[in-house]
Structure 1
Amino acid sequence: MGGFGPIKRLVFWQNMPSHHQSGVLAALARNHGYEVVWAVQEGLSGERAAMGWPEFADSGVTLVESPETAQAEALLSGRFDETLHIAGGIFGVPLARSAFFTGMRKGCRFALMNETPLPKGMEAAGGRSLANRVLGGLQPAAQRVVRARYGRQVLFVLAIGAMAEEAYRVFGWGEKVFPYGYFPAGPGEGFRAKTAAEPFTILYLGQFSHRKGADVLVQALAQVSGQGWRAELYGAGELEGDCRAMAGQIKGGVVEIHDFLPWSEAMARLETASLVVVPSRHDGWGAVVGEALMRGVPVVATDQTGSQVLVRGSQPERGAVAKAESVPDLARILDSWIQRGPMPLERREAIAGWAKCLEPRNAADYLDQVIRWSQGGARPNSPWEPAPETSQPER
């Protein structure tokens, strides 16, 4: 865009200060010299605080919680030549929506960060307001309107998950679509993958909700023919009672259902699991997939889980992809993993080594390259994609 200079300031407009994103923003400030402002609609919710989600720590990022109208206006005014605004979920987050449309009128440069639209009948965690449900239903048409009217001011779209990448290409964003995800911190530089516990242990971490599909997992476990395995499901929600009732009828293995674990305890429990399962009917990303892989644990996710891209056709083998809501398909895949037994330690170490690409600092490097692409630089691959091949000189 003529008249604009290099981007030096990034203003993120999102729903809350999640640890799935904070590390990336901190690395953008620390490693790449950006001035980073994080404007969020609300602070960490009581529910997530109770689950042990880490609080945001000051790390060179300016956090603005629940900005008043005047504060938001100030962030959108001035310094147009060096600022890029990144709006997360403009059809689901009122703050992001207001910032986007106000910023468009002011002539701001924007990027979008979005998951795929929720399918009809699926609800976000905690439900959504009537206005957001209406907007969600209209989103495919509304996205095309946004593309047609504001496409020149939107430099790129960060599409969170496999389904979002496909959806935003359909919406007409073309080469401006870049695959993206959520990037919680890994277990640390000195971490070594651990030997899987005996017996073969399947782990589920999440809500007992229709969208998350814990009931599909329990039904699949009832159809598994293998013997002597163990499944531990941690979470809470409206389907917990049904899952407990079904689990009590399973004979081939032991199924335990527990309340959710605080995040740090969940990560520690995850380290010795044989297999993590994400049985979602719909999941925009599914952060536990990356959290498991960074600890060397293979994952079975559904084809309606955005982070399936991390295990689909993977080398080294990092898991498998099951058909969403298909009890027989998930049971078949679980049976095959149980019959093979726990993965050898060296293969778990290979998974953890590969998954270092998912560390927040690497996601920040990638986002910096995407920003540079928007200003004429080379197009980057996502952190989890192989680096582009370079031609070798003849000898």
Structure 2
Amino acid sequence: MSAKKLIFWQNCISPHQLPYIENLIKLSQVLSVYLVVPVSTLPERERMGWDSTFATNLVDIYVDPNEETVEKLLSDTNNCNWHFFSGIRADKFVYNWFKKSLNYEINRAIITEGPFTYKWPLILHKFRFYFFDYKYIDYIKHVYAIGKDCKDYYESISSKWKVIDFVYCVKTYYDDLSLISETPLINIAFVGTFSVRKNPLLLLNSLNIARKKSPYFSFKLSLIGFGKLYKKMYDFCKKAMLFDSVFFYGNLSNNHTIDILKTSDVLVLPSTHDGWGAVVNEALNCGVFVICSNKCGSKALIENSNRGIVFISNNHEDLTNALLFLCQNLTDIRKGKTERFYWAKTHISGEVIAKYLVDTLEKENVVPPWLS
């Protein structure tokens, strides 16, 4: 089979996708890789600490390309080539490129999270899809579904396309496996916006309950992020007298966030809805134990394993029990840091996901490496 040209049409250069995209070119089945984006970094992501300076020379990146460049990329209709769009209409630029691509007989796929059901129930998303986007199904060969709920949704939409398990992935950061604390203080990290959807108030409430339940429960919580719930969180900490244990860092660069994760025992992601939650990837890449809600797509990385705990979303009792488990098993959790790091390196790294993506283009029923 001839080597493939792979073209990715995305809304920005994402640190949660570039690690596998840049590794595709290292595979013998791949001739060239292109990434097409309207902007390097979205303003809202930049405020959260995203940085486009990680861009690589392994990939030809087009930022805000002109019409001639777009047409040139689409006009090569070699049957071995594939075009991957970030959803259908999630971004206006990607949607316009997607519509232009319909003029060409090309292999077309979408890479997407599931519907945002935090505000709209799933049935309304289905109605919207059937009304606006059902006409595109015959033009899409593969759907790379990020998270099990996403896969279930797109399989329920149609049997005409092939729906494939997919994930975000991040750079492998961890380079010092000796950073293991020996103090009884549990180092906990939360990374995300201070919003009702990310639910950091549930974490503060559960930590306060755990502290009251066990005289041995002592912790340091690093809160990385900002958002509308900041004042409520600040007031809660003041009322519960948690300021000796809770530290607000605000929005940090990705490198600074990773520095804090490296010295953490656990990451907690208590979201009421999260299509994936790439901070779980980042935590595992640092060898960190993870506690996340069952509404996070990234729960797939820790379910039925010793890498973390999945708790019932918005249930403070269930989260409190998970936190108390940390207290009772802290020594073993710290000993497992190296094992978690190597699991991430061999199951969800850029190299591994790149190979998995290419395998799905050439083979049937490829087992996702993070589920093997």
Asked if these proteins are the same fold (TM beyond 0.5), I'd say yes
Tell me which residue corresponds to 1:158: 144
> Matched residue of 1:24: which SS?
helix
Q: 1:10 aligns with which of 6, 9, 12?
A: 6
Deviations 1:186-243 (A, max 9, x none): 125x542631363112110111112211122122222222332222211111111111
Tell me which residue corresponds to 2:352: 362
Distance verdict in 2 for CA 1:193–1:210, change over 3 Å: farther
In structure 2, list runs of 5 or more residues that go unmatched: none
1:341 aligns with 2:330: yes
Partners of 1:145 and 1:345 lie apart in 2 by: 51
Tell me which residue corresponds to 2:91: 93
Tell me which residue corresponds to 2:307: 318
TM-score in terms of structure 2 length: 0.89
Give 1:182's aligned amino acid: Y
Tell me which residue corresponds to 1:235: 225
1:119 aligns with 2:110: no
TM-aligned CA deviation for residue 310 of structure 1: 0.4
Q: Equivalences for 1:6-45 in 2 at 5 Å?
A: 6=2, 8-32=4-28, 33-45=30-42
Q: 1:201 aligns with which of 187, 190, 194?
A: 187
Distance verdict in 2 for CA 1:168–1:342, change over 3 Å: farther
Partners of 1:110 and 1:200 lie apart in 2 by: 47
Tell me which residue corresponds to 1:192: 177
Partners of 2:224 and 2:118 lie apart in 1 by: 27
Distance verdict in 2 for CA 1:109–1:141, change over 3 Å: farther
Q: Equivalences for 1:44-83 in 2 at 5 Å?
A: 44-49=41-46, 51=49, 53-83=51-81
> Matched residue of 2:257: which SS?
helix
Deviations 1:115-172 (A, max 9, x none): 01111527xxxxxxxxxxxxx9964235456885444432211111122122112222
CA RMSD of aligned residues (A): 2.5
Partners of 2:283 and 2:4 lie apart in 1 by: 34
TM-aligned CA deviation for residue 345 of structure 1: 4.1
> Matched residue of 1:23: which SS?
helix
Q: Equivalences for 1:102-117 in 2 at 5 Å?
A: 102-117=100-115
Deviations 1:246-278 (A, max 9, x none): 122335872222212221111111112121101
Partners of 1:383 and 1:147 lie apart in 2 by: 31
Deviations 1:25-60 (A, max 9, x none): 111112343311111122113454452535243322
Partners of 2:3 and 2:316 lie apart in 1 by: 49
Contact 1:362 1:383 in 2 (8 A): yes
Give 1:208's aligned amino acid: F
Partners of 2:360 and 2:220 lie apart in 1 by: 43
TM-aligned CA deviation for residue 111 of structure 1: 0.7
Give 2:40's aligned amino acid: G
> Matched residue of 1:218: which SS?
helix
Distance verdict in 2 for CA 1:365–1:201, change over 3 Å: same
Larger CA deviation: 359-368 vs 213-222: 213-222
Distance verdict in 2 for CA 1:37–1:292, change over 3 Å: same
Contact 1:193 1:271 in 2 (8 A): no
> Matched residue of 2:7: which SS?
strand
Partners of 1:343 and 1:284 lie apart in 2 by: 30
TM-score in terms of structure 1 length: 0.84
> Matched residue of 1:308: which SS?
helix
Distance verdict in 2 for CA 1:301–1:173, change over 3 Å: farther
Contact 2:13 2:55 in 1 (8 A): no
Give 1:36's aligned amino acid: V
Tell me which residue corresponds to 1:182: 168
Larger CA deviation: 49-58 vs 198-207: 49-58
TM-aligned CA deviation for residue 17 of structure 1: 0.3
Larger CA deviation: 222-231 vs 84-93: 222-231
> Matched residue of 2:25: which SS?
helix
TM-aligned CA deviation for residue 298 of structure 1: 0.6
Question: Between Structure 1 and Structure 2, how many residues are aligned?
Answer: 362
Tell me which residue corresponds to 2:245: 254
Tell me which residue corresponds to 2:341: 352
Partners of 1:288 and 1:180 lie apart in 2 by: 16
Partners of 1:63 and 1:240 lie apart in 2 by: 37
Contact 2:137 2:160 in 1 (8 A): no
> Matched residue of 1:105: which SS?
coil
TM-aligned CA deviation for residue 177 of structure 1: 1.4
Give 2:358's aligned amino acid: D
Partners of 1:330 and 1:22 lie apart in 2 by: 33
TM-aligned CA deviation for residue 80 of structure 1: 4.2
Tell me which residue corresponds to 2:265: 274
Q: 1:308 aligns with which of 299, 302, 307?
A: 299
Give 2:55's aligned amino acid: A
In structure 1, list runs of 5 or more residues that go unmatched: 123-135, 387-395
Distance verdict in 2 for CA 1:193–1:85, change over 3 Å: farther
Task: Give the share of equivalent positions with the same residue, in percent.
Answer: 25
Give 2:326's aligned amino acid: W
> Matched residue of 1:55: which SS?
helix
